Every structure is written in structure tokens, then in C-alpha cells.
Amino acid sequence: AGKVDCFQDGIFSRYVTSERSMSAYDRIVASRFQNGPDRKILTYLLDHSDSSQRDIARALGVVPSVVNSRIRQLYDEGIVAMERFGRTTRIALTDDSVEVIRRIKGAGPCRDPTWAPAPEIRG
């Protein structure tokens, strides 16, 4: 588990370790982090552990059914954990997914490799 780098591939952001190899689990988490709705959920959970689906939906401005389907997928992939408290299910990132997401976020924003700053114009 090394440093994660990010690069643009057309319209897609790709995340890879600096060694150019990732574990299967790291690839799954990185794949989910590239998906807009999943990225929003994962980023929210990084800062708001033990949230309900309703909390997440309200914070992201989406209907709970959207969050429910995405959380179910993330749960099936082992990215989030769910625990029932009465009628409410609390959702949190797993320790492993927190580690991968922190490495991805540490990669910083992706940059287009063809981008260059504009030359300075003196007048």
C-alpha cells in the first residue's frame, strides 16, 4: 500500500499506486471513488461516521432511495459497514476503505498531462 497517484485519461480520473499495482480491494474502492454519487457518499462518510441513509440523503440533496441503492453496493463490496439501531441503520466506512480513500485524497486533484500554464504576458 503505497502512495496513490492520479492522472486524467480522457474524461476519466484514474488512481494508481506509484508502483502501478493495486490490490483488488484498492481497485474497487478507487473505482467507487471515481463515480460521482459514490464519491460524494464516501467523502461525506469520511467526515460523518455512523450516519443514517436519511442523514446522507439530506446532506447530499438526493432522495433516500438513491442513497439506499448506492450504500447496498458499497456494503456488498466491503467498503461500508452497516449496523442496525432500532429502526435506524447506521453506516460507516470500514477501516480498510478509510485508508484507501485517504491515500486517494492525498494524491490531490488530477491534472491533464497536456495542460501547461499560460505564458506570462508583459506589457
The per-residue pLDDT for range 2-60, each reduced to its tens digit, is 566 666 656 666 666 655 567 888 888 888 887 788 989 999 999 998 999 999 999 99
- Cβ 38 vs Cβ 70: under 8 Å: yes
pTM for the full predicted model: 0.71
CATH architecture of the domain with range 4-106: Orthogonal Bundle (1.10)
